[in-house]
Amino acid sequence: MTARRRLVAGVDSSTQSTKVEVRDLETGAVVARGRSSHPATTPPRSEQDPQVWWAAFEDAWRQVGAPIVEAISVAGQQHGMVALDAGLEVIRPAKLWNDTESAPDAGWLVRQLDGRAAGWAAAVGSVPVAAFTATKLSWLHRSEPDHWRRLAHVLLPHDWLTLRLSGNCVTDRGDASGTGYWSPTTGDYRWDVLSIIDAALDWPAVVPRIAAPDEVVGEWRGARVACGTGDNMAAALGLALRAGEAVVSLGTSGVAYTVADHPTADSTGAVAGFADASGRFLPLVCTLNATKVTDAIARLLAVDHAELDRLVLDGPPGARGMTLLPYLDGERTPDLPEATGVVAGMRSDVSREQLARAATEGVVCSLLDALDALARHAPVSSVVLTGGGARSTAYRQVFAELCDLPLTVADADEAVAAGACVQAAVVADGVSFDTVTDR
């Protein structure tokens, strides 16, 4: 009689979709993948009903055959605010990381803690911007007092899905480090920061418990449920990221990050001093605008991605002096939530190739700025490209032309889901993260 194959599942719940990846626990081989889309959102108001995440998960789970797995882990989009009442019912649609309505609250919060950004960096490793959960809580307190009075629990998107699986309100150190009220240095919530938002609220009862990276937090259909983590933390696991390697993720937004053995604090706010999912740290720079910029240009030019690539590759390096500042939907780094895109150097003889090239170079230069900021806080000796944009020949070539570090393209098709599978494997077998990633 053939022994049943041992399987684990990793869930990637992003802004755009929920993906499920099932892997063989012994070999790491992908057994099945499923994907179901979420409703589209556009800043400044970017919100989704968490119920659509669960519906998407159930759909993706059916696509992979609803297998019997030994463990499951959820990686989710960072920072979002899921507000629950005392009965664990969702009070209002979740504000997502790219919602910028709380930009005024970010500025107000910075002024409340010693009156300077450096105080925030020292307290929680990062300076609040509109993406952070702390600013969204401040917005809720200021803008929707009726909803605020009902607030009994606040979760991150991955926490909410983990709650649906396990029945428990828990989070992990990686995703907690992106809230703006948990310290990677001390490993504790900063009650003084939360009291700035509302000094009367019983915050220890509102925020979720921080689970250990390898902790089993519940059971779902006989499978052990891991604590889960944020999407960038999971991607670092999925790519088996090592010190000195920096990841540049070319998705709808752009991200640059690396792992470090020590916490970081950047008073300029460019680098977020996050924790990772395994016990180390993950300094990170995030931009709002990456492939969405070239998607917009492709739409204007009425071409598909393959034709846009051809136009970029046929275009002259430097786009004959034409530049495109890619802050189409406001920007997180630098902190310019009200910004828009700017085209400069356009002449009457502009070509389609120039425009395509300028857009691509604008995105790449923005991410090279992110790498420069990252390197001021952690050593960076090589770069790994990942994300949907890394599949583009044009993006790969332009990045290679403009980056002076060794460059590779990740072989992980879905690094976030793969990282969630790593975390599931850790709790399934009770082994270390290095044991799983070295397999």
- Cα–Cα dist 48/4, whole Å: 39
**Cα torsion 269, 292, 248, 370: sign:** negative
8 Å CB contact between 148 and 140: yes
Candidate list 99, 172, 175, 231, residue with the active-site label: 231
Nearest to 126 by CA among 77, 177, 168, 187: 177
Interatomic CA distance for residues 227 and 213, integer angstroms: 7
Residue 169 main-chain phi, psi, to 5 deg: -90, 95
Reply yes or no on whether 231 is catalytic: yes
Hey, what's the torsion of the CAs at 416, 422, 425, 426, to 10 degrees? -130
3-state SS, 89-148, equals CECCCEECCCCCCCHHHHHHHHHHCCCCHHHHHHHHCCCCCCCCHHHHHHHHHHHCHHHH
Which among 92, 103, 82 is positioned nearest to 153, based on CA atoms? 82
Q: What distance in Å separates the CA atoms of residue 297 and residue 286, rounded to the nearest whole number? A: 21
The whole-angstrom separation of Cα 207 and Cα 204 is: 6
Beta bridge partners of 278: none
CB atoms within 10 A of CB 1: 3
Q: Give bridge partners of residue 24 from the DSSP assignment.
A: 7
58 Cβ contact partners less than 8 Å away, ≥ 6 residues apart = none
Main-chain phi, psi angles of 50, to 5 degrees: -55, -25
Q: Which residues are catalytic?
A: 231
